[in-house]
Each structure stands twice: as structure tokens, then as C-alpha cells.
Amino acid sequence: MMEKIVLHDKTFKPFIPYAKLEAAIDSVARRINADYEGSKDIPILLCILNGSVMFTAELMKRLNFDLQLVSMKLSSYSGTQSSGVIKQVMGLTSPVNGRRVIIVEDIVDTGNTIVELKRILEEQGASDVKICTMLLKPEVYDKPVKLDYVGMEIPNAFIVGFGLDYDELGRNYKDIYVIDQ
């Protein structure tokens, strides 16, 4: 893990090492495998672009049932703040009608994106929607939507790395860094 990284005009310091992320992914994968073991249907793993690409890839390697990978892109961030407005940048890459869907998110904070995603999937006819997130900020999550699989809880701080970005930079770091105030 690097001491500090600089992205645009901000400095970030080490926060969560990759080894800890791997342990959390192993735990989430065990729970999902237990729930989907012996599935007769083929569930959809819905990768929410761009942030959850790394988490989805790591998670998929650990799942031991057949699945279909589908992607979708939503946006609500500008700089370090959520705008509160969810924009659908790219729709579903495959139909979900009558299918079980596991949403794979990098992080859940306010929950606005999760609420919108669940609404879209139900509107599109998904038979069941489960939510899986690598990271959860419990002090700001106040939505009634149940999170089925959570890798780890973190404080409400701005982070980058492991798919998370600051104005499109920082996604490629395997560790997670927190803004250095």
C-alpha cells in the first residue's frame, strides 16, 4: 500500500488494504453461494458501472453457480459530493423480466441509487432483487430497502481505490484510500 496518493487537487491516505477487502469478498461469496446453491434457474449478477467492476470481478471468481453477467450505469456524483439526482447513463445490457437479480454495488451511502435501481428492476419485471455491496456507510444510509449482502461497514468519509473514483481517477488502486483532511 502506498503511503499517500494525489488525485487532481486532493491527497488520500491508506485506509483499507486489499487483504482486508479479499476477506470481506470471501465472506460475501460464501453467503451468496449458500443462498443460490442448487439453483435451477440462472440468476443475473448486475454490475453497476463503473465503480463495482473490480468488486464484481473478484466476487464472480468466488461464486460456484451458473450466472449471467449484466451491466448498467447510473451516476449521481460530481467531485466528492452526491448530487442527489440519479441519472441512468446506460440501461440494462440484457432483459431481467422473470429473472432473479443480484445487484452488485461498490458502495452504498445515502441509498438513493439502490432505491432507484430496485424500482427500475421491478418495473422491468425482475422476479426477485437482492442487493450486494462491498461497502456500506451505515451512518448515512436511511432507506427502507434491505441490503442482503454487505462486505464491510465504513465511516462516512470520501474514499477512492478498488473501483471507487474521484472525478474518474483512482479506480485502479487495489487498496482503498481515504481523503486526507
pLDDT in tens, 5-52: 999 999 999 999 999 999 999 999 999 999 999 999 999 999 999 999
SS3 state at 122:
helix
At residue 77, the pLDDT reads 56
Tell me the average pLDDT of the chain.
94
- Active-site residues: which are they? 109
Q: What is the residue range of 95's domain?
A: 19-155
d(CA 131, CA 150): 8
166: in domain: no
- Give the CA angle between residues 51, 100, 171 to the nearest 5°: 5
d(CA 107, CA 140): 12
2: in domain: no
128: in domain: yes
Quote the number of domains for the chain: 1
Tell me the C-alpha to C-alpha distance, in Å, between residue 36 and each of 1, 102, 118, 137: 35, 11, 20, 26
Which residues contact residue 74 at a Cβ distance below 8 angstroms, ignoring those fewer than 6 apart?
48, 86, 87, 88, 89, 113, 116, 117
160: in domain: no
DSSP state of 170: S
Tens-place pLDDT, residues 110-146:
999 999 999 999 999 999 999 999 999 999 999 999 9
At residue 89, the pLDDT reads 80
User: Domain holding 58: CATH number?
Assistant: 3.40.50.2020
135 DSSP β-pair partners: 107, 152
168: in domain: no
- Give the CA angle between residues 51, 53, 58 to the nearest 5°: 130
Name the pTM for this structure.
Answer: 0.93
At residue 24, the pLDDT reads 98
